[in-house]
């Protein structure tokens, strides 16, 4: 194929053999979110560039170097969304649905775009399921978000492979005091910091805590700790969260270096991390952002949320072989018909069966073919049973019913009795 007809690097097709696992994952999360009382919101994929600059922060990796920004035909600067929170906040403000303290528990799903170096678990178009809660300011809701994800890991069979890391960033006032102390300390050790950290010290000093550089990490060992600068309110909030996680029995580790990449967090921040995916270890991350809505021009409105990376979680299901058996089979029953009259009768019969068993995965052979070739297709489809309609069956108004997996002889079933018979032998999803 010519080079111009390839997908963009880091932007992947999700092929038919992969979509069943994606749909299983997405369906499991969606059901859980419904059950906990969250409502779905859908935002556009493209927004004004200004939205992300104002919400995410000018001196973050995302805004500095990862955004897909372009001018449209009107000369407006637009950006493919790199994350969901900014657009979600814009949407609730625009439609006034968080006004007067109205609580909103919202979730969204969809593609995000960041110009990063593509590698396993890191792509330029990737997919997130995210969630935002507005106007609930207590630790109880922070706990609910984490409890819900804990349940999700349990349902998916990956609970043993993830670890919860927690930190509190305090209010913006206490974080400001901490930032000053940190800058003072790091400035005194300026020459021992790596280049990136020297730059961050000036632009976004908390991000230095996040460094992967060993020399800088050594300097950080004796650096001031956020925990010592927490104001009483943040401290009580954090204790409240931990007490709730303890009550439910969710283990966590405190990670004072967890600062998250975005500027807007306050108080609680958390990440679910795994060692099963190499360097791309964070599968779900979030926190509280009580100041963001006001910063974006709204009335003071508290917020807390998270986003999980679908690619990474699907990779985990594959790596840990937690793929439910039922999703690998796409067809329950395959109908073979021989000759034109049988084909017409087969179509009508299939529709009658579908009327009665709307969840049955019934595939009708297309493309005619010999007995042998249709049978081969039936087998290859993965179906549990083949239905056979030939001249003999037509004459008797029956259909041949043949198990394709394991034992069992072929039987004849009257057309009128077919749906009832199938209901007894096919477990319907």
Q: Is 123 in the site for ligand ATP (CB under 6 A)?
A: yes
Residue number with CB closer to ligand ATP (284 or 333): 284
Distances (CA, A) of 260 to 15, 104, 169: 32, 24, 10
Among residues 226, 277, 285, 315, the one that binds ligand ATP under rule CB under 6 A: 285
Q: Are 210 and 196 in contact (CB under 8 A)?
A: no
Element (H, E) at 49: helix 49-56
CB of 384 to ligand ATP, least distance (A): 37
Strand 253-254 and strand 162-168: the pairing is: parallel
CB of 119 to ligand ATP, least distance (A): 9
CB of 309 to ligand ATP, least distance (A): 2
Q: Using CB atoms, what's the residue nearest to ligand ATP?
A: 309
Residues 70-99: x/- map of binding to ligand ATP (CB under 6 A)?
-------------x----------------
CB of 173 to ligand ATP, least distance (A): 24
Among residues 53, 90, 105, 114, the one that binds ligand ATP under rule CB under 6 A: 114
* Stretch in the footprint of ligand ATP (CB under 6 A) among 121-129, 144-152, 346-354, 413-421: 121-129
Element (H, E) at 261: none
The long-range contacts involving 114-118, CB below 8 angstroms and separated by at least 24 positions, are 114/62, 114/66, 114/67, 114/68, 114/82, 115/65, 115/66, 115/67, 115/68, 116/10, 116/66, 118/9, 118/10
Helix, strand, coil percent values for the chain (each to nearest 5): 45, 20, 35
By CB under 6 A, the residues from 258 to 277 that bind ligand ATP are 261
Among residues 132, 311, 332, 393, the one that binds ligand ATP under rule CB under 6 A: 311
Q: Is 309 in the site for ligand ATP (CB under 6 A)?
A: yes
Q: Are 302 and 171 in contact (CB under 8 A)?
A: no
* Stretch in the footprint of ligand ATP (CB under 6 A) among 41-49, 131-139, 283-291, 368-376: 283-291
Distance CA 279, CA 44 (A): 31
Residue number with CB closer to ligand ATP (133 or 336): 133
Distance CA 142, CA 200 (A): 29
Q: Is 49 in the site for ligand ATP (CB under 6 A)?
A: no
Residue number with CB closer to ligand ATP (83 or 393): 83
Residue with tokens 């929170």: 85
238 Cβ neighbours under 8 A, 6+ residues apart: 139, 168, 230, 267, 268
Distance CA 131, CA 34 (A): 12
Among residues 259, 277, 307, 316, the one that binds ligand ATP under rule CB under 6 A: 307
Residues near ligand ATP (CB under 6 A): 83, 114, 116, 121-123, 126, 128, 261, 280, 282-285, 307-309, 311-312
């Amino acid at each position: 194929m010519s080079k111009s007809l390839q997908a963009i690097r880091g932007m992947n097709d999700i092929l038919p053999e992969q979509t069943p696992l994606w749909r299983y994952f997405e369906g499991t999360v969606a059901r859980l979110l419904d059950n906990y009382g969250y409502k779905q919101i859908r935002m556009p994929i493209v927004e004004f560039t200004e939205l992300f600059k104002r919400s995410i922060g000018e001196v973050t990796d995302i805004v500095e170097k990862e955004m897909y920004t372009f001018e449209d035909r009107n000369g407006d600067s637009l950006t493919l969304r790199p994350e969901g929170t900014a657009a979600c906040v814009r949407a609730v403000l625009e439609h006034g649905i968080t006004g007067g303290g109205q609580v909103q528990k919202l979730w969204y799903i969809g593609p995000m775009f960041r110009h990063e170096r593509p590698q396993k678990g890191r792509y330029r178009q990737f997919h997130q399921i995210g969630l935002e809660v507005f106007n609930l300011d207590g630790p109880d809701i922070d706990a609910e978000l984490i409890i819900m994800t804990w349940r999700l890991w349990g349902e998916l069979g990956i609970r043993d492979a993830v670890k919860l890391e927690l930190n509190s960033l305090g209010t913006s006032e206490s974080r400001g005091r901490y930032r000053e102390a940190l800058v003072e300390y790091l400035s005194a050790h300026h020459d021992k910091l790596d280049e990136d950290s020297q730059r961050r010290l000036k632009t976004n000093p908390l991000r230095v805590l996040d460094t992967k550089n060993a020399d800088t990490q050594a300097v950080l060992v004796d650096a001031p700790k956020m925990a010592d600068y927490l104001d009483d309110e943040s401290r009580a909030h954090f204790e409240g969260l931990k007490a709730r996680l303890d009550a439910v029995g969710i283990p966590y580790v405190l990670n004072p270096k967890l600062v998250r990449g975005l500027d807007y967090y306050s108080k609680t921040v958390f990440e679910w991390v795994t060692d099963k995916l190499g360097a791309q270890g964070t599968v779900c991350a979030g926190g509280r952002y009580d100041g963001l809505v006001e910063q974006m021009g709204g009335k003071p409105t508290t917020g807390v949320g998270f986003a999980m990376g679908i690619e990474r979680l699907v990779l985990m299901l594959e790596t840990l072989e937690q793929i439910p058996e039922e999703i690998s089979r796409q067809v329950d029953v395959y109908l073979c018909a021989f000759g034109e009259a049988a084909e017409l009768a087969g179509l009508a019969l299939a529709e009658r069966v579908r009327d009665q068993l709307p969840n049955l995965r019934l595939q009708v052979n297309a493309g005619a073919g010999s007995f042998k070739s249709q049978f081969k297709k039936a087998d290859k489809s993965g179906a549990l049973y083949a239905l056979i309609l030939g001249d003999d069956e037509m004459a008797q108004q029956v259909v041949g019913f043949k198990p394709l997996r394991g034992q069992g002889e072929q039987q004849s079933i009257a057309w009128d009795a077919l749906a009832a018979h199938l209901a007894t032998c096919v477990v319907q999803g």
